[in-house]
Amino acid sequence: MSAPDVIRAAFAAYLLRCFPTADRFVSQEILALVEAGDGGVFLLYEYELRTGERYRNTEFSTVRGDQLVRTEVFFGGRVG
């Protein structure tokens, strides 16, 4: 599996496990996924909260084999 494939496959489970407030999410959508070389991937996603508010974040994740080994989150802002 390529690094982007690993990220796509694991994204929803990752959010539920790594975001303590994930139970507030109604939905999340990957907007862009760009391979950066050496197992690195930039991911732009948008999510909606139960309140109707929408936000965007960007992450840089590193994949080794089929394992996500590191993620740095760059918190964006409210959309709309």
- The domain spans of the chain are 3-79
Comparing 13-27, 30-44, 66-80, the range with the smallest average pLDDT is 13-27
- Burial of 63 (C-beta count, 10 Å sphere; 0-12/13-18/19+): buried
Work out the pLDDT band at 36, boundaries 50, 70, 90. Answer: very high
pTM: 0.77
From CA 41, how far away is CA 11, in angstroms rounded? 12
Percent of the chain with pLDDT over 90: 49
